Structure 1
Amino acid sequence: MVRELKFKMVEDGHGIEAHKKMISVLVKEHNTMMQPKSKRGEWADNLDVPRVSSEKFEVLFHAGCRFSYDKVLQNSARSAVTMLKNAGVNIGIMGEREMCCGGRAYSMGYRDELDRLAKSNINACSKAGIRTIVASCADCYHAFKRLYPQFGSQVEVLHTTEFIHRLIKEEKLKFRTGMPITVTYHDPCHLGRQGEPYVPWQGVEKKIKKQIIVYEPRRPRYNGAWGVYDQPREILKAIPGVQLVEMQRIREYSWCCGAGGGVREAYPEYSNWTAVERIEEAKSTGAEAIISACPWCERNFMDAVSGMGDSMKVYDIIDLARKAV
């Protein structure tokens, strides 16, 4: 209902000004970071990784807008690609041809932008022969996993934590270096409760007594319980020396970082308050660091910690995994 209200407000010309500015740049530059698209692939300039324009490969690593342009977080994307390559995965990137997934625009009420970007990305993957998309950004994962199937996408979609967890189970990846650190894990909204896979439905909508709506057959319901929760935790537990302590609000009940849905751009003070609330909860566990699997969460936490003058460390789970290999 809330999302439909957003769609209606945007279609009627009542979108939030901060969002309008972002969307205007997105249309031209294909990213939500207000940056030129020509610099999209620079994060991988020193990586020996094929790009879709020059070689064929079956596994595509999609960096996403935040990882592509955030200078501090770019190393996490590089680490992810390096780990997968070293494990023998035939992986490549779109580089400067990569475009925004459209998920963030969709969550702000701009469904036409999702439609445009989804169709472009699906077409690009089809031409390149891509069979699997690996995303380190939870927002991108949600778009590819939950939204793109509605546009006909049939590629396998995995978050980096799912792929690494698979490699560990197949004994293609082992952690050898100990890391004596106590950490707590933050479940990103778009990897957790909004990371459930899309379930297609065909049926009819009926009204009982002109007011109660029922569906035949029953429509699938998303309650957040089937997101990606276990794999990140099992990765952390597999790293020698890492002690995982849990916060009170976890999994589908996790407290949002405050960066999603365009909140960070439109309501920065509220976004920061939300992040501080989560940092305080993380501190209550006795953890030295808060770990997540989404660059938007990590950026919001980093900014909040800096503003608090706190010593809490913020890491992407890939950063720890890469150091332990």
Structure 2
Amino acid sequence: MQGFDKDKLPSNEYKIKLCENYDIPKLVKAASYVSEYEDSEKAVKDFYENFSKNHHVYKTDCNKDKGPKCCRDVNYFLDLVTGIIKKSLLEENDKNKLIEYVETHLEPTVRAQDIYTCERETDLDSIRKRCILQHLYDLKEDEYNIFTFSQEYNDYLSEKWEKILSYTNEIPDNLFIKIENNSMGIIENYKHFLSSSDYICNNNLHELNKEEITFSRDLDSFTKSISLDRMSANHDKHICYNKRYVDMLKYKTLNIQKINNILFIGIALLGYSPLGNWFRRCKKKKIEVDENTSEELQELYENSENIGRYITYPSMSH
């Protein structure tokens, strides 16, 4: 059996083509260890010139089906170059100047809007969301390699995201993500998420939109925003929930049940007094918990513990 080779990963097929003749290690060597602006600028220009040529050759492969992947892969490199510049020895003003030059003059040359639509917002949250989506799609493509070379793949992930994390995760271990839609529920530390191969989600990733990815530096705040209506354990086998998400669902459900119990006691004690009528209206209007919630929650909890390390997904034959 052949050993692990990151260049042979399915997720890297197009990335390798984009960097033919001038790869990222060469750019790092040329741009990271010089302190003069002109030297760094030349290295970045050379990389983009080669990158643009390769993109022009292969962009016709980015038809409607492959367009989103081409966009993700191109944006990954653009975000990576930003990270390389930010980690360089340049003065801060020169770093910002070079990044601005790249965004204004070089980046527009490597996105084929005539072939596929490719947005590129540059605020930190947008970059983080791009990275999360890229990671989920790449894991799904690399699934069989991950099962065979799990440790090697995790080492590769640390290298893959290191420079982007250096500027999108300013306060290490203090940024959390929540991914939540009808078939996915993940709450995790941002850095740990990108460094982990646990999150292979065999569901409809194309249905996940950026608005369903949120961030917080207060993990407990997700308890307030987590949605009980999203649970679909009894209806959809292709769910992707991690244990931390299910734990929060359980905690929120128990709290709502406690409120229900208090309201029932209040109604019993107050009978049909005006305040009792208010309690009944409050219960009917605001505390609507599906009678199957506990059952669904237990199933999700068991799945999140018993199938894989964190993730619930259909069993596969190998």
When normalised by structure 1's length, the TM-score is 0.30
Q: Which has the larger radius of gyration?
A: 2
When normalised by structure 2's length, the TM-score is 0.31
Q: Relative CO higher for 1 or 2, CA cutoff 8 Å, sep ≥ 6? A: 1
Q: Which has the higher strand share?
A: 1
